[in-house]
Amino acid sequence: MSIRIGILGYGNLGRGVESAIRQNPDMELKAVFTRRAPESVKLHTEHIPVVHLEDIRAWRDEIDVMVLCGGSATDLPEQMPEYAREFNVINSFDTHAKIPEHFAAVDAAAREGGKAALISVGWDPGMFSLNRLISTAILPEGKNYTFWGRGVSQGHSDACRRIPGVLDARQYTIPVAESAARVRRGEQPEFQTGDMHTREVFVVAEEGADRAAIEAEICSMPNYFADYHTSVHFISAEEMQKNHQGLPHGGFVIRSGVTGFLKEHKEIVEYSVKLDSNPEFTGSILVAYARALYRLASEGRKGCLTVFDIAPAYLSPLSAEELRVHLL
């Protein structure tokens, strides 16, 4: 019997989850839930019902794990505590600073409903967090460095689109190669905000817009751009359409530590991802962890968990014996 997955929210991430389910024969997409008019939503998978969010409770016994694919700003903080009472829920909540608060709300709701929940499952937070934890435990004396990119940041792109005269914008976050090289050499530098990343923005401007003013407004935007070296390129709508429609991303986490009686040896551990599709990779992580959540819930686990609480064997469809033979 396959694990029955529900998707709540059908944007880029929802489609990423849908496509990942197809690569896992032990899992099955049962239904997609949406706030939109269901008949307006066209899935990639045939014969799967699209259900209005109002009717979600009728599916309580049909769904083993509900994957919430809304945004971290407003959707997930509302939806997770609400649905954690009724379903085993999982998300990729990524507002690092608000994780403790989110965890507490989801944990209380899941315990009330006797369900299991899993938050912040993606690559950062998620895989990067796992690597930070494990390498910090292994090398207690050292420093962690997280670099992101080259990849599209939706938040920064959106911020540029709100500027008057901007029709469309795409922002790439780019790690500073020389800073990464210093870390990989074991130097353990102290970086300022702008030392680790630069930002590159492609803008489609209205005809006759003041390009110099747009560029100045982008580069001086506090938090988003002011602390970084930022380059702005004005391009045509055609070029935007042709060269900037993908959602590539990537990044790397490095632990630079020392060992030895005199702390004379450097040990460098690095985890990196290079992604053609950020939402499909995140969706793939969510699906593997949905399998783990289903298994843990079946064993009677209740309340909220994170990737830190999941023994890796739970992620794989293979048996413990197969894992030891083929992957250990």
Is 57 annotated to bind a ligand? Reply is no
**Taking the complex as a whole, how short is the minimal distance between the CB of residue 125 and its own copies, in angstroms?**
5
Is 173 annotated to bind a ligand? Reply is yes
In the three-class reduction of DSSP (H, G, I as helix; E, B as strand; rest coil), residue 209 is classed as coil
Is 282 annotated to bind a ligand? Reply is no
**Taking the complex as a whole, how short is the minimal distance between the CB of residue 281 and its own copies, in angstroms?**
5
Cα–Cα dist 241/247, whole Å: 13
Is 13 annotated to bind a ligand? Reply is yes
Is 208 annotated to bind a ligand? Reply is no
**Taking the complex as a whole, how short is the minimal distance between the CB of residue 313 and its own copies, in angstroms?**
4
Complex with its own copies: residue 164 or 312, whichever CB lies closer: 312
Is 10 annotated to bind a ligand? Reply is yes
Is 38 annotated to bind a ligand? Reply is no
Complex with its own copies: residue 222 or 260, whichever CB lies closer: 260
- Give the residue among 201, 143, 203, 144 at the shortest CA–CA distance from 174: 201
Cα–Cα dist 132/154, whole Å: 24
Complex with its own copies: residue 93 or 224, whichever CB lies closer: 93
- Cβ proximity of 51 and 38 under 8 Å: yes
| 264: its two tokens | 């004379």
Complex with its own copies: residue 39 or 261, whichever CB lies closer: 261
End-to-end CA distance of the chain: 27
Cα–Cα dist 54/22, whole Å: 27
- Sequence-distant (6+) residues with CB within 8 A of 159 are 171, 221, 224
Complex with its own copies: residue 230 or 278, whichever CB lies closer: 278
Q: What are the residue ranges of helices labelled H in the chain?
A: 12-21, 75-83, 99-113, 127-138, 154-161, 177-184, 193-196, 211-219, 237-243, 278-298, 320-326
**Taking the complex as a whole, how short is the minimal distance between the CB of residue 59 and its own copies, in angstroms?**
24
**Taking the complex as a whole, how short is the minimal distance between the CB of residue 214 and its own copies, in angstroms?**
32
**Taking the complex as a whole, how short is the minimal distance between the CB of residue 247 and its own copies, in angstroms?**
9
Complex with its own copies: residue 164 or 246, whichever CB lies closer: 246
Binding site for its own copies (CB under 8 A): 16, 19-20, 22-24, 44, 96, 99-100, 103, 120, 125, 127, 129-134, 136-141, 184, 257, 259-261, 264-277, 280-281, 283-285, 288, 291, 306-313, 315-317, 320-321, 323-325, 327-328
**Taking the complex as a whole, how short is the minimal distance between the CB of residue 248 and its own copies, in angstroms?**
9
> How many CB atoms are located within 10 Å of the residue 37 CB?
9
Cα–Cα dist 58/42, whole Å: 22
Is 59 annotated to bind a ligand? Reply is no
Is 199 annotated to bind a ligand? Reply is yes
Backbone angles phi, psi at 68, to 5 degrees: -90, 120
The Cα-based distances of 59 to 5, 54, 66, 151, 157 in angstroms read 11, 11, 10, 37, 37
Angle between helices 12-21 and 278-298 (to 10 degrees): 60
In the three-class reduction of DSSP (H, G, I as helix; E, B as strand; rest coil), residue 144 is classed as strand
Complex with its own copies: residue 240 or 268, whichever CB lies closer: 268
Complex with its own copies: residue 176 or 285, whichever CB lies closer: 285
Is 12 annotated to bind a ligand? Reply is yes
**Taking the complex as a whole, how short is the minimal distance between the CB of residue 323 and its own copies, in angstroms?**
5
Known binding residues for NADP(+) are 10-13, 34-36, 69-72, 92-94, 121-125
Known binding residues for substrate are 148, 173, 199, 249, 278
Known binding residues are 10-13, 34-36, 69-72, 92-94, 121-125, 148, 173, 199, 249, 278
